[in-house]
């Protein structure tokens, strides 16, 4: 079976949206795609593509990373926010968006570098598309059952077999009933006798099983000494990983956006080692001042601090490595850093207290204050007010409007810091303000990604 036929088999029940500013490429690929997929739609810029996505809700989005009117990364984030399951395949010349998307975990199914031939696109689509669900109709199922041959037994043979079974069953039942009545008292007596005999035998067994004291002493003396093995330190393991050229993954977070890339272990010294990393990873590592390394084949995670950054050669010098238990964050709940416009106020002891928001998401907020006298404890339920700037819905108007929303907060934990206290809270935003709060979070995600892109350009 050819590649085109294979693609038809997996694409027959699916809808595809192709967003591409290059009209020649749109036309060339579109001729074939509309023959293969159940439904085929086209858009020529990011804004048109998003509007069409909202209307048709396709299974697959094929898109270029250089789009007019709406940034491609912003478009991917908006699409994934609406439908986490949608399959997104990107096409791009190697540009800043392509380089950044290699670092961001945005749930892409695949990426192809231009120039791309249609045969390359077909092979990629075959690999990422799930098979067509086959539905067998009731009519076909009935025909299969009817076609199954049934071999009937002769009536006389069947009758004799039934009679024989009944006879044997009744005779067995009668024998059992007679024997049980006669043998019941006999069985009871034999059980009692055996119990008495066992009790008499028991002390003899105990005497026989007890070993002489001298024999026990000899056995203890002849026991071999246990060798105590000192476990390797994490630094020793790192040297071994570097020697074996183990595959490693670097993980960092830049203002709530997770950055992860393949890295390379280099130049291990006695107490430090170097790692080669991507530009995006260097930016995120500089922001956090540490790196988490995943040794992929061993499935182990290492935490290490940064003592030097070589921007020219994209290298990090790391020290004090140690193993940690690491759990990846839920992709659907981004914990972002608030901007300077964000204000948080808590109503506590009949007083409104202002806080700074360190991190926030749709379900969580981390607040800080330099006030130490607050007697706030876990499980307390408190009223919160959030204020923030949100952009105008129109792309033409670039003004921001200050908006307020209210929420109920439940205290998860309270930590003392050198400058005050830090309070982690689970939040539930009031329905009237949920839409604006979601817009603010999406705006912060896009602004953070854009900020990362600008730093990578420098």
What is the token pair recorded at 441? 């979070």
The pLDDT assigned to 205 comes to 46
Which carries the bigger pLDDT value, residue 420 or residue 396? 420
10 has pLDDT over 80: yes
Residues 51 and 349: their CA atoms lie apart, in Å, by 48
* CATH superfamily, with its number, for domain 3-128: Response regulator (3.40.50.2300)
Thinking of the domain 343-457, which architecture would CATH place it in?
A: Beta Barrel (2.40)
Residues carrying CATH 3.40.50.2300, the chain:
3-128
The pLDDT assigned to 101 comes to 87
Residues carrying CATH 2.40.10.10, the chain:
234-324
Question: How does pLDDT run across 52-82, given as a tens digit for each residue?
Answer: 999 999 999 999 999 999 989 989 989 998 8
Instruction: Please state, rounded to an integer, the average pLDDT across all residues of the chain.
Output: 82
Confidence of residue 371 (pLDDT cuts 50, 70, 90): confident
Confidence of residue 231 (pLDDT cuts 50, 70, 90): confident
Thinking of the domain 234-324, which architecture would CATH place it in?
A: Beta Barrel (2.40)
121 has pLDDT over 80: yes
133 CB contacts (<8 Å, ≥6 apart)?
13
The pLDDT assigned to 210 comes to 47
Q: Specify the pTM.
A: 0.69
What is the token pair recorded at 44? 């020529």
Closest to 351 (Cα-Cα) out of 371, 326, 368: 371
Evaluated on CA atoms 430, 431, 433, 437, the torsion sign reads positive
Question: How does pLDDT run across 431-456, given as a tens digit for each residue?
Answer: 999 999 999 999 999 999 999 988 88
322 has pLDDT over 60: yes
Residues 240 and 228: their CA atoms lie apart, in Å, by 22
């Amino acid at each position: 079976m050819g590649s085109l036929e294979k693609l038809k088999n997996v694409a027959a029940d699916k809808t595809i949206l192709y967003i591409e500013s290059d009209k020649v490429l749109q036309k060339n690929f579109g001729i074939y795609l509309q023959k293969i997929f159940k439904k085929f739609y086209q858009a020529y810029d990011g804004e048109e593509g998003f509007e069409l996505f909202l209307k048709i809700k396709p299974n697959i989005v094929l898109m270029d990373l250089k789009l007019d009117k709406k940034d491609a990364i912003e478009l991917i984030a908006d699409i994934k926010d609406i439908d986490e399951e949608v399959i997104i395949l990107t096409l791009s010349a190697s540009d800043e968006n392509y380089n950044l998307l290699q670092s961001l975990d945005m749930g892409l199914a695949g990426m192809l570098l231009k120039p791309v031939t249609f045969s390359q696109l077909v092979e990629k689509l075959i690999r990422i598309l799930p098979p067509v669900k086959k539905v067998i109709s009731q009519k076909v199922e009935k025909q299969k059952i009817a076609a199954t041959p049934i071999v009937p037994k002769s009536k006389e043979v069947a009758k004799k077999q039934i009679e024989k079974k009944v006879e044997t069953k009744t005779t067995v039942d009668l024998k059992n009933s007679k024997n049980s009545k006669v043998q019941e008292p006999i069985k009871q007596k034999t059980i009692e006798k055996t119990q008495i005999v066992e009790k008499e035998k028991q002390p003899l067994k105990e005497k026989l099983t007890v070993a002489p004291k001298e024999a026990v002493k000899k056995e203890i003396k002849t026991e071999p000494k246990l060798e105590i093995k000192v476990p390797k330190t994490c630094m020793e393991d790192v040297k071994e990983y570097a020697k074996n050229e183990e595959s490693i993954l670097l993980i960092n977070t830049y203002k709530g956006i997770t950055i992860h890339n393949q890295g390379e272990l280099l130049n291990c010294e006695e107490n430090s080692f170097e790692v080669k990393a991507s530009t995006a990873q260097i930016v995120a590592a500089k922001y956090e001042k540490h790196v988490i390394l995943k040794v992929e084949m061993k499935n182990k995670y290492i935490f290490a601090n940064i003592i030097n950054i070589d921007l020219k050669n994209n290298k990090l010098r790391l020290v004090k490595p140690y193993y940690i238990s690491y759990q990846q964050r839920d992709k659907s709940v981004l914990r972002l850093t608030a901007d300077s416009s964000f204000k948080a106020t808590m109503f506590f002891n009949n007083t409104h207290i202002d806080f700074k928001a360190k991190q926030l998401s749709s379900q969580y907020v981390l607040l800080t204050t330099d006030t130490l006298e607050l007697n706030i404890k876990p499980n307390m339920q408190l009223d919160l007010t959030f204020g923030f700037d949100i952009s105008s819905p129109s792309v033409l108007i670039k003004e921001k409007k200050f908006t307020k929303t209210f929420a109920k907060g439940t205290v998860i934990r309270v930590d003392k810091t050198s400058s005050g206290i830090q309070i982690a809270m689970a939040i539930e935003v009031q329905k009237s303000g949920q839409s604006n709060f979601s817009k603010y979070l999406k705006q912060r995600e896009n602004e953070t990604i854009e900020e990362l892109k600008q730093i990578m350009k420098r």
